[in-house]
């Protein structure tokens, strides 16, 4: 079967190349599986970031709209206070005129 040591060397090299090929195929398979998992995780993180950006944009928009409403309400309250003060002054003026008579 084996006539020289070169035949034994060739047999050993063939067996080693066979197992190396199996190991490389197994390693490539797990590397591809890992790459798919990383891709899924990256997509989920990207979707989460997009949702957070949408929430922040919506909150910013609501806050800017509510600040406009608060400024309008503040102006309305200021005008109402001025109106009430003017009304009190006219009532006091009428009361003081009626006392003088």
- Residue partners of 7: CB distance under 8 A and separation at least 6: 1
For 38-83, the pLDDT digits (tens) are 999 999 999 999 998 998 888 888 777 777 777 777 888 888 888 8
In 1-101, DSSP assigns E strands to: none
Q: In whole numbers, what is the pLDDT of the chain averaged over residues?
A: 87
For 6-44, the pLDDT digits (tens) are 999 999 999 999 999 999 999 999 999 999 999 999 999
Contact 8, 2 (CB under 8 A): yes
């Amino acid at each position: 079967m084996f006539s020289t040591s070169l035949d034994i060397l060739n047999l050993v090299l063939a067996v080693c190349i066979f197992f190396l090929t199996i190991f490389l195929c197994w390693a490539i398979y797990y590397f591809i599986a890992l790459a798919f998992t990383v891709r899924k995780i990256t997509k989920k993180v990207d979707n989460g970031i997009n949702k957070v950006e949408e929430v922040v944009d919506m909150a910013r928009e609501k806050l800017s709209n509510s600040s406009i409403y608060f400024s309008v309400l503040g102006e309305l309250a200021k005008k109402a206070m001025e109106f009430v003060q003017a009304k009190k002054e006219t009532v006091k003026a009428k009361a003081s005129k009626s006392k003088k008579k």
